[in-house]
A = this chain, B = another copy of it.
Amino acid sequence: MVAHSLRARVRAGMIDEIKTVARRHLATDGANLSLRAVARDMGMVSSAIYRYFPSRDDLLTALILEAYDALGDAVEAADAAVERRDLRGRWHAVCRAARAWALAHPAEYALIYGSPVPGYAAPDDTVAPAQRPPVVLVGILHDGLTTGRLTPPPDELPDPLREDLAEVAAGLYPGMSEALLARGMAGWTQLFGLISFELFGRITRTLPHRDEYFDHQTGLMANLIGLPGPS
């Protein structure tokens, strides 16, 4: 163990440093990350990087995983900081946390939620961390159901869709109302769209008061879902 550790530790340090430098490059130069540039910044020769990451895609995957985890952490922390019974407060807190993280890390957000890199296929490791934000959102609704603060909406669902949703629910929140789950996913979809529009510059010219716009839009979805509270 400790015998390993001298080399293993410096290796772990190198991996960390590469990722840090790569993240910095990502922030300035966008998604077209250059291994050679990273190596240059570290005073290494480009081929040495390949001792730590077998390919550029592997480095990207590592960054993607970290981004998912960072966003998931932020979102879950925001949810946990609000009184459990305040469903609407939790909803807004989660939405705002996701937006704040995205605005603070635009390049990493683009990495995980932008158009997929052509040749790149996200490995299965990314599936679970990618689902953390929607799971938190739906968890709020689930809490609302179990505490009686929320009632299942009477939406009519075609059978195939109901079965699909039931299967999704079974893996996360067994017994969850399919119609409410669908409404929650609508909220999650809209949240992603909101953040993407803002980040990719499709809103800024026309709507300067972006905070107010964001809160109003997420509030609309809270209304659609039936979260109790103001408005």
Judge whether A221 is part of the interface by a CB distance below 8 angstroms: yes
Among A56-64, A89-97, A182-190, the stretch that binds chain B is: A182-190
Considering the complex, give the chain B residue whose CB is closest to the CB of A193: B193
A186–B190 touching, CB < 8 Å: yes
Q: A216 CA to B186 CA in the complex, in Å?
A: 10
What number of copies of this chain does the assembly contain? 2
Contacts A190-B193, A193-B193; A32 near B118 (Cβ below 8 A): yes
Q: Which residues of B contact A167 (CB under 8 A)?
A: 206
A31 and chain B: residue at smallest CB distance: B118
**Across the interface, do B212 and A158 meet the contact criterion of CB distance under 8 Å?**
yes
CB <8 Å contact, B115 and A208: no
In the bound complex, do residue A168 and residue B110 qualify as a contact, i.e. CB atoms below 8 Å apart?
A: no
Residue from B189, B220, B224 within 8 A of A194 (CB atoms): B189
Which A positions have Cβ atoms within 8 angstroms of B? Answer: 29-32, 110-111, 113-119, 122, 127, 130, 155-158, 160-161, 164-165, 167-168, 182-183, 185-186, 189-194, 196-197, 200-202, 205-209, 212-213, 216-217, 220-221, 223-224, 231
